[in-house]
Amino acid sequence: MVDFDLHGLTPAPVTPFTPEGAVDYEAIQRLGSWLGSINGVKGLVVLGHAGEGTFLTTEEQESVIKAFVKSVDNKIPIIAGITGEGTEVAALEAKRAKNAGASA
């Protein structure tokens, strides 16, 4: 079981995109690094509503999680939004998120 302290701020950042519509991984690095440096931020919830999780491919979802994990240098947990419908689909999505480095 994962044990981490979430007493404080847990922002849910957007997933940034390039003007061409691709995920902007350089912007994720900057955004995650900045949010992770703020005193009181205890974790990030990625791929939620504003994170566009439902509109990304499974490969993009995994890459976004990995990018946010890297951006915070494992100093705070990354919590992945699970948007799959149905127990089996959601469980598979959660396993992929965990394998990509999400803490929860």
State the Cα–Cα distance between residues 41 and 76, nearest whole angstrom: 8
pLDDT at 22: 96
pLDDT at residue 81 above 70? Answer: yes
pLDDT at 1: 46
Q: What digits encode the pLDDT tens for the residues 1-43? A: 456 777 889 999 999 999 999 999 999 999 999 999 999 999 9
Provide φ and ψ at 44, rounded to 5°: -125, 135
Closest by Cα among 48, 46, 82 to 65: 46
Residue with tokens 């390039």: 18
pLDDT at residue 84 above 90? Answer: no
Q: What digits encode the pLDDT tens for the residues 37-79? A: 999 999 999 998 777 877 899 999 999 999 999 999 989 999 9
The model's pTM = 0.92
- The DSSP-derived string for 22-85 is SB-HHHHHHHHHHHHHSTTB--EEESSTTTTGGGS-HHHHHHHHHHHHHHTTTSS-EEE----S
pLDDT at 2: 59
Angle between helices 87-99 and 58-71 (to 10 degrees): 40
